[in-house]
Structure 1
Amino acid sequence: MKKSLLPILTLLFSFQFITAQTDNLQWLDIELSNYPYPYAVSVLELKIQEQDLKMAYMDVKPENYNGKNIVLFHGKNFNGAYWKTTIEALTNEGFRVIVPDQIGFGKSSKPQHFHYTFQQLAQNTKTLLDTLKVEKTAILGHSMGGMLATRFALMYPKMTEKFILENPIGLEDWKLIVPYQPVEWWYQNELKKSYDGIKKYQLVNYYDNKWKPEYDQWVNLLAGWTLNSNYKIIAWNNALTYDMIFTQPVVYEFKNITAPTLLIIGTRDRTALGKPLVTEEGQKTMGLYNELGKKTQKEIPNSELVEIENVGHLPHIEKFESFIKPLIRFLKK
C-alpha cells in the first residue's frame, strides 16, 4: 500500500510546488512600472512610424569617468535589468554605461502596430546617443542584442569604437533549413506561455538543466506579464520580433565590421530559432556555439575569441568573472 501511494504523493508534492511558484508570481505592468531597475531609468520620447513612443534607458556615469562609453544591448527574453552586475563592474572601472530597453521590451512602449527591423532599432539607439551627446562608444550585444549590435556597428561605424558579441544569436541563417511561419503562428505560441513553460525552456537551453535560485527572477519577469490583461499586446510584439530575427540575418555581413571585435562565447550554448520545426537530425546541426564562435571569429576582421567552456547562453549571468575579465581587458586596450 505504501509503495502504491508513493508516486501519487510525489506527483501531489510536485503539483503543490509548481502551484506555489505560480501563486508567488507578481503581476507586472505592461511597461514594468511596478518592477524596480538597478539604476535610475530615464525616458526618451520618440516619434516614429506615426506613433508617439517611449524608449526607457539607464545612463550610469561614474565619478571616476575615464571618458569611455559602452552601450549594452539586451536579448529577446530579457531587458536592461539583467545587466546589473555588468554595469557595476564597468562603472567601477570608470566607463559610462548606457543601457536601453528597445521598443517592445522592458520599460519601453509596447505598440499595437509596429514594423520591427534591426535598422529601426539601431536608429532609435543612435537617436538616444545623439540626445545624450555621445559621439563614440563601445557596443556590446547579447543574444538578439548581438544581431542588433551588429546592425548598429554596420550602420554607424564611425561611432562604434569597439564591438563585443556575447553569445549572439544569428551566427547562422536558420531560414535555410527552418520552414517559414507567419507572425500569427509565433503569436499563438506566445499566448500559450506560462511560468512552467518559460522555466523549462531556460533550464534546458540556458543552464544545462542546472538551476540556481538567482535565475528565478528572469523567469518571473516574463511569466509575470502573462498575468496582465493586456498580455496579448506583449505577445504580439514578441511575435513581430521573432519574425524580425528570422527574416533579417546579419551573418552574411560580419566581413564588413570595421571596429576591433571581441567574441565571448559560452560553448555549451545550443540556442537556435525554430528547432521544433525541423527534424531531429536537423536540430543536431543548429546552435553549435562551440563551432559557431570559431567560424564567426574568422569572418570578422580584427577580431578575437574568448571561449568559456561548460557555460551556456548567458555567460554574464552563469559565470560572471569569466565574462567580465576579458571584457574589461579588451575595453582598456
Structure 2
Amino acid sequence: MAPLIRIQLGIFFVLLCPVNIIGLWWAVGSPLVMDPNSICRKTKQLAGKQAELCQSQPEIIKEVIKGAKLGIRECQHQFRSRRWNCTSHSKYFGKVLQQDIRETAFVYAVTAAGVTHAVTQACSMGYLLQCGCEATRSRGPPRPADTGTEAVRWEWGGCGDDVEFGYEKSKQFMDGRQKTGKSDIRTLMDLHNNEAGRLAVRNYMRTECKCHGLSGSCTLRTCWRKMPPFREVGNRLLERFHGASKVMGGNDGKTLIPVGRNIKPPDKQDLIYSAESPDFCLPNRKTGSAGTRGRVCNSTALDMSGCDLLCCDRGYRDETVVYEENCLCRFHWCCVVQCKKCSVRKKLSLCM
C-alpha cells in the first residue's frame, strides 16, 4: 500500500512547483537573486548603455526586473514536465547559462521577451513618464472585416501598446551587457536569441476593436493594437526550442552557419545553440543538472512528463498526499469571505 503523507497546502505546492526566481542580474552574467537597486548601485560593472539607463531612468530598471521574473516564471511553466525544469537554484542555474545548449537559448529568449512585454505593459498602464499609448497618427486604417454588410467606419483609438518602446529598452539593457571572457561566437548566439525573444512579442501584435452605435449597431469601430498574452509568447518560443538550429562559427569569426548539409540558415525568430544538452538525469554540478530523483511524473503519459522518460528508466514510487485547501467559501455582507478547510487526497508518482 502506498505511504500516506499529510502536508499543508503551501508545502504541497512547493513540492510540485519550482521555486520562483526573484530576478536575474544579467548585467554581470550572474544568476544570483538581485533587486533593481542592487543592479544600479553597481553601475561601474555595467556596460555603458546599461549604466546610462540606471542613472537616467531608474524606474525602467524596475520594469526590466519584472520582465526578467516574468520570463523565468514562464520558463518554469514551459519546462515543468521536462528533466531540466528551469530550476532557479543558483548552484544549477548558473552552470546551465554557461553552456551553449538549447536550454540556455530558451532562457535568453524568454527573458528578453519578458522585458519587452513588461516595459510595454508599464507604458500602457501609465506607470512610466517616458512613454504611454502607441502613436497612431501615421498608421493606415485597420483592415475591415468582411461582415457582408455595408462598410463600417474605422479609426484608431483606445490605448494601443507601444511595443517599439518596450523593444528598444529590452534591446538596450539585454544586449548592452559586457561579455568578458566569452568568445565572439557565444556573443553572437546570445544576441541572436535575445532578438528572437523580442520578435516573439513584437511580430505578433494583434488588433482589437470595439463597436460604437445606437441600439447595439456598429456604425463606428475603434481599434487599437495589443501584445499577445505572455503565455502565447512562451508557447511560441517553446516551439522554437524544439526546432532550434545547431550552429558553428564561420571562418571569419563573425558569422554563424548551420551544422549539417542542406540545412537552411536560421532566421531571426529561430533559436540557436552550438553544443548538445546533457541528459539531466543525475545530479551533476558541472553541467547544472539537479537530477530527476523525487520529481513528480505521470505514470500514464508517453511524453517527457511520463515516468519512463522523466525518471530515466530508474522507476518510480507511488505516494498518497493529503493536503488542506479552502472550500465551501461564502461571501458575507459586507465584506468578508469565510471558508472551511477541506482535506484533499492526491496520488503522486515520484521518480526513484
Q: Higher relative CO (CA 8 A, sep ≥ 6), structure 1 or 2?
A: 2
Task: Compare the two structures and name the one with the higher helix fraction.
Answer: 1
TM-score by length of 1: 0.26
Q: TM-score of the superposition, structure 2-length normalised?
A: 0.25
User: Which one has a bigger Cα radius of gyration?
Assistant: 2
